[in-house]
A and B are shown apart, each in its own frame.
Chain A
Amino acid sequence: MSRMWHILKREYLENVRTKAFIVGLILTPVWMGLIFVIPLLISAPDTIRVVIVDETGSLAGPLTRILSDPEVPQGPEMPESRSMPRAKSSFEVVIEHSSGPYAQDDAGRARLEALKREAGSEGHYVVVLTQAVLEKRAAGEGESEHGVFGPAIRGMGSPGRVIRDAVTDLVTKRLLAERELPSDLAEIIQKPATGFHAIDKTGAKSSGFGAMLPIMVVMLLYMGIVGISQMLISNTIEEKASRVYEVLLSSVSPFQLMAGKILGICGVGLTLLGFWCGGGLAAASMQGSGDIVSAAQIAWFATYYLLGFLMIASLFVAVGSACNTIKEAQNLMAPLSMLLALPLIVSMLTMSNPNGTTSTVMSFIPPFTPFIMMTRLASVPTPPTWQVWATLLVLIVSTYLAIRFAARVFRVGILLHGQPPSLKQILRWMFTAE
């Protein structure tokens, strides 16, 4: 036991002391943050050109004023987006033609087509306001005669929607005024009568952060398990190439060596995840959402990390031990890697229906269990208790088997140099007891 402890300790310290580890520790959260922030920053250009073609002769002016106001409402506020940085756009308005029937003669129609073409290629917007707008007739987006034309930028703050909402607001107020109705009727009509409140399983209001929880948890679990296990492959091959294994085998058994390596690297992963999760929780509690994860969820996360890591790392270390170069390992790993990308995709799908048939079935397939079950445990509604324990049992048994098979491959593989073994040979080692 103490011999394995020394292997574990060496493996841990030698990996934690590297510059690459420290850089990864700090840069990964920064990088993750950038993944969320960059699309928001680049989703909308700073200044958006809007060409207004106004047949009514009375809408272009007020619309220009609304769009030129820096406080122009940019889509409805959503709880999820409250803590997110949002790109604000300012509009540069050009009034193309303020009055007269535009789409009624050939020259006018051709001019309109040219404007749309230009908007499409230059990425700006053309707002065509006909008399029909004032009658709130056929205001559907598919209507080609009038409406807002421009590039498809999706999202809450998409300029197309902002312009459309501004026109709607303007026209509604105008129509109310014409009918001598109070202008605040517009707000009464347009505002939803009730809000939607996401709640957690205690019935308390779920913060926006809570909706993000399953995806964040799975990403962390995936990076911790698959990312760190990959470290084990390259490290195993490197040491095999340096021929240090036989020297070690004069002091420890192959199993002690393998277990020490896996647990040492597991510790490296725990350090990373501890640092990131701790940082994440600290950030969440500073935002007043410190209670979004329960102690039970943290315990489950640790359990799934440990079991998932032991299972997948065992497979990786077995492959690494059988190969002489990273390239050989990549060839052997190709099918395994594709398989391992699946749980990430399935977890995403699981989020919309955590207790659906697909999610339930996938929860029982060992390599996917940690990811799918963690998603389900971080979602609402949580899975039935019997499934939690049954999948855990499946996971424990399969992890045990993975370690046993890996140990058989490892003890043969690490001493084998020269031609790499075929998958068939590796399978034979797996089922041959020493």
Chain B
Amino acid sequence: MTASGDSPAVRFQDVTKRFGNFTAVDGLSLAVKPGTIFGILGSNGAGKTTSIRMLMNIFTPDTGRVEVFGSPVTEATKPRIGYLPEERGLYKKMRLGDMLRFFGRIKGRNDAYLDRSIERWLGWAGLSDRIHDRVESLSKGMSQKLQFVTTVVHGPELLVLDEPFAGLDPVNRDIMRDAVLAMHREGTTIVFSTHVMEQAEQLCHELVLLHRGTVRLGGTLAQVRAAEGRQAAHIRHALKPGATLDGLPGVAAVTDHGNEAELTLEPDADGQLLLRALLERGEVTRFELREPSLHEIFKRVAGESA
């Protein structure tokens, strides 16, 4: 069974969730098209995990409605979803094969399906020969891959990943990204949360940016950037001793990474004037005028409400 027609794979309608006096999510609305990769962005405490837990029916919204594949989210929806929570864990004392079969069975899959799926995914993780080993014998990197396998072993139509790349080294991050992309190519809808904007830029088709429980920006990457309505200068530089990036003409904000910097421009800024001013302060080996990065957009949004 796959999601059909234009009905969204996931829909939040004016969803609010409070814990005591604290409003974790406030009037959240979003729609995820089937077969796309959707990002929920925001800093820590923005309401990402709460939103995802409502999507998984772990929390119930106080008001509003959460739908998956066109029907309200219930226990019956869960087998169609693969969920990788931010707080992950495995049964350390169990053997790999037994544990994966257990996770597949509670999703309602039969053993014949699971045998094939376990073989495929353990092959992907490079753990085929460890099927009878105990989970506790795996290295950290292997455990992370195995955790992902538990999420997908039942062949979900919707993959929900809460901070999937957190704590991974670059090699495993790439392996995880490739697996997500492979699932996407097979038609799986993917919703993931992150506070690392670069990852969202690389992967997402659409996104929402949450800040303190409310949506500040949303749409496709292009829409979000266009809505920002200004440009940024992405530069690589080597400033003279004592020189800084402060007080440059037409620059609204500076994010200096050391060798590189992103300069968010005023709406009417003159790029050529800025370049000349930069050359007076040192060498410039790259100068590119384009849309600001999500990182900068996010900082501006967060800064405005602070």
**Nearest CB of chain A from residue B77's CB, rounded to whole Å:** 10
Q: With an 8 A cutoff between CB atoms, is B144 at the interface?
A: no
The contact sample of 20 A-B pairs, CB cut-off 8 A, is A2-B108, A6-B102, A10-B102, A242-B89, A242-B91, A243-B89, A245-B89, A246-B88, A247-B83, A247-B84, A247-B103, A247-B147, A247-B150, A248-B106, A250-B56, A250-B58, A250-B85, A251-B79, A251-B107, A417-B87
Are A7 and B94 neighbours in the complex by a CB distance under 8 Å? no
Contacting pair B90 A242 (CB below 8 A):
yes
The chain B residue with its CB closest to the CB of A255 is B75
| Contacts A251-B78, A415-B58, A434-B60; A6 near B87 (Cβ below 8 A) | no
B105 touching A249 by the CB < 8 A rule?
Answer: no
Question: Which secondary structure characterizes the binding site on chain A?
Answer: helix
A7 contacts which chain B residues (CB < 8 A)? Answer: 106
Q: How far is the CB of A146 from the nearest CB of chain B, in Å? A: 70
Q: List 10 A-B pairs, minimum CB-CB distance, nearest first.
A: A243-B89, A250-B83, A244-B89, A246-B85, A242-B89, A251-B106, A243-B87, A6-B105, A6-B106, A3-B106
Query: Does residue A252 face the partner (Cβ distance < 8 Å to B)?
Result: yes
A145 interface hit (Cβ, 8 Å): no
A246-B83, A247-B90, A250-B83 given; 9 more Cβ-contact pairs under 8 Å: A6-B102, A242-B90, A243-B85, A243-B89, A246-B89, A247-B85, A247-B103, A249-B56, A251-B78
Is B120 on the interface with A (CB-CB < 8 A)? no
Cα distance, A243 to B167, chains bound together (Å): 15
Known: A3-B106, A250-B56. A14 touches B93 (CB 8 A): yes
From B60, B88, B94, B151, give the contact of A14 (CB < 8 A). B94
- Asked if B276 lies at the interface with its beta carbon under 8 angstroms from chain A, I say no
Judge if A253 is at the interface, Cβ distance under 8 Å.
yes
Residue from B53, B90, B108 within 8 A of A244 (CB atoms): B90
Q: How far is the CA of A239 from the CA of B147 in the complex (A)?
A: 15
Do B81 and A250 touch across chains, with their CB atoms under 8 A apart?
yes
Residue B92 interfacial (CB < 8 Å): yes
**Assembled-state Cα–Cα distance A3/B105 (Å):** 7
Q: Is the CB of A244 within 8 A of B56?
A: no
B89 touches A253 (CB 8 A): no
Within 8 A of A (CB), among B170-204: none
Complex Cα gap A26–B42 (Å): 56
Within 8 A of A (CB), among B47-84: 53, 56-58, 60, 75, 78-79, 81-84
A258–B266 alpha-carbon span in the complex (Å)? 57
Q: Give the distance to chain A from B114, nearest Cβ to Cβ, in Å.
A: 12
B87: A residues at CB distance < 8 A? 243, 246, 417
- Asked if B88 contacts A243 (CB within 8 A), the reply is yes
User: Which residues of chain B are within 8 angstroms of A244 by Cβ–Cβ distance?
Assistant: 89-91
* Complex contacts, A247 vs chain B, CB 8 Å: 83-85, 88-90, 103, 147, 150-151
**CA separation between A3 and B147, bound complex, in Å?**
20
A326 to chain B, nearest CB (A): 17
